[in-house]
Structures are given as structure tokens and as C-alpha cells.
Chain A
Amino acid sequence: MTDRDRFERGLAAWSRGCPHCRERIEGGEPADWFGLLRHVPIPEELLEEVSAGVSREISRSEPSRLEAPRALGWLPRPVAWAAALLAAALVSVALYRVSGPLERAPQPRVSAAHAGEAARARVEVRSPAGVAPVVDLTVGDTHLVMVFSEEIEL
């Protein structure tokens, strides 16, 4: 039997067992015959190798895909969100306490020299002619007025 005989016997065998194949084979277009390659048998052991290789790969990469997102996986989703928000709020408060408010009201800078001036009393004596002398003393927010007159009796 020649190769051509075997080939044609093969075509006839496919044609008998598969109406779709018969349509392709008898369609008059040799390129259609390649449609039969759909029936190429893939060795079962090779398919098992695929599964085994994929399982190994999953085991290797599992932490990156599953463990990080699933740290809260046992919680219902709304509870997990609430827990995350609460944690974020606690962290913000802790940071605020450590470093103070982000924006403080601007504080006047007082140098030592200015500090000395601030503590010094301002004294003013007003004594026009014929009038009892008055001492007007201001220290900070305290305002003291003293009048010196012999005519005043307490």
C-alpha cells in the first residue's frame, strides 16, 4: 500500500465517522483538511504535567496573590472596611499627639532683649505747675495711677 493509499483511506475513515469532517474533506479545498487537526490527540501524561506545573507555580506565588489581601479575609467586607478606617483614625491621632497640630497659630518670637523690654515698667510722671504730681505706672496689663498731694487725707 502506498502513502497515497493510506492517506486516502484515512480521509475516507474520517469522512465516515464524522459528518463535519466529511463536509470539510469533500469541500474541494485541500486547506480545509487541516480542520481535522482538531482531533490531534494530546498525550494524557503531558496534560498531567501541565496541571502539576501549574500547581507548583501557584504554591510558589500564593503569598503574593492571596495572603496579603486576605489578612482580613475572615471578616465580612463592611466590618473589614470599618476596621481599616478606625485603624487609620487611630494612627492619625497618634501622629497628631506626637508631632502636634499640623498648623499652629503663629507665635511671636521674643528674643532675650525683647523679653527684658516686655518686663520693664513704663513710668510717666505728669506734674504741671501748681498741680499735684501723678505717677502713671503701667506694667503689662496692670495700670496704676498714683497721685501725690498733701491735701489728700485718707
Chain B
Amino acid sequence: MRDEGELIRAAAGGDRRAFEELVVRKRERVVRTAFQITGNLEDARDVAQVVFSRLWQALGRFDVRRRFDTWLYRITVNASIDVLRDSSSRLGAGPLPEESAREPADPSMPADRAYLLGELRRVFQRHAAQLAPRQRAAFVLREIEGLDTDEVARVLEVTPSTVRNHVLQARRILREGIERDCPELFSRGGRLP
């Protein structure tokens, strides 16, 4: 199995097989990030295809000293925000549709976990629709993807304090939405029974 740096260099030199292997390694992360931002699996798949096609075109100019994942996340976030804006303009200013045509599913996942994830996803989609696209992207990268604040700042090309502001605002909006709409699910204030 080839080292990731080696794969990136080979792909940058035009090695198509290396690039396709890179796609296999990175596609789940790209689709998941796009899915959290757009709220729709089909849109996430389309975003991922756009992202990797752009990557293939631009990889020859990639400076290998830079962090590849940062670059990949940046392209993903920008493409997802484009889709989000297109969807908003198509649907008006209302919330995003909660149900996508295809649902995330893993038959091997225990039923109680799958149920919890399904509920969390629906609640998140409902309330994240109130966030500005870059607030939403900052929250997804920081709180869901688990990137540190400096890394999110590099992805979004803003300062770390801007990222902290975006995340704080997003958390406040999400908490208020949860408390208002789902008191039965979150009545314990986050404490496990």
C-alpha cells in the first residue's frame, strides 16, 4: 500500500491510477463533509465528483509542502456552499428539506445507535438551515469533523477568532432551536440518564 505523500506526488505527475486510489481513500470524508453542509446525499455525491474533478485538473499545480487535506477540505466546503446557495435560491429562504432521497444507512450498525444518529441528523438539518453557510461550514469542520480551530481557519481562509465566533454563534442557534423544538429529546440538558 502506497504512502499518501507518494500517491499525491504520483497523481500530481499525471498518474491516473494513483489519483483513483487517492479518490478511494478520501471520498468518504469528502462526501460526509459535503453531506453535513448540504443535508442531502445526492448533492453530496455531486459535490464529491466536482471536488475530485477540480482536484485532478489542479493537482499538477499543488505545492506538496502544503497540507493536502486542508486544500481538499477547502475545495469541498466551497463546492458545498455553492450547492447550498443554489438550493436556497431554488427553494426560497425556507429550511432545507429534511429528508433526502437516499438515507445514510449501515445494516451492520446496532438499531439503537442508528436511531440516535437518524434523530440527531434530522434535528441538525432542521436547525442548521438557520445558519449562514460559513457558520455551518465552520461548525461542521470543527464540531463534526473534529478539526482544530487553526486548521478550520486555514480551510476557510479566515482568522482563528473568526472561526471561534462562527462556531459560538452556530452552537447558540442550534441549542436554542433544540430547546424550543425538541424539549422531549433534550430535556435533560445533555445529561445522560
Residues of A within 8 A of B (CB): 3-4, 6-15, 17, 25-43, 46-47, 49-51, 53-55, 57-58, 61-62, 65-66, 70
Set of chain A residues within 8 Å of B75, measured between Cβ atoms: none
Set of chain A residues within 8 Å of B23, measured between Cβ atoms: 50-51, 54
Q: Are A38 and B104 in contact, CB atoms less than 8 angstroms apart? A: no
User: Count the B residues whose beta carbon is within 8 Å of the partner chain — how many?
Assistant: 59
Q: Are A34 and B143 in contact, CB atoms less than 8 angstroms apart? A: yes
Interface residue? B27 (CB, 8 A): yes
Set of chain B residues within 8 Å of A62, measured between Cβ atoms: 16
Interface residue? B48 (CB, 8 A): yes
For the A-B complex with A31-B170, A37-B117 known, give 15 more contacts whose Cβ atoms are closer than 8 Å: A4-B184, A7-B185, A8-B192, A9-B112, A25-B190, A29-B171, A31-B178, A40-B35, A42-B104, A43-B102, A46-B31, A47-B31, A50-B48, A53-B45, A65-B14
CA distance A40 to B140 in the complex (A): 13
Q: Are B45 and A13 in contact, CB atoms less than 8 angstroms apart? A: no
Chain B residue nearest in CB terms to A55: B20
CA distance A40 to B179 in the complex (A): 23
Q: Are A6 and B14 in contact, CB atoms less than 8 angstroms apart? A: no
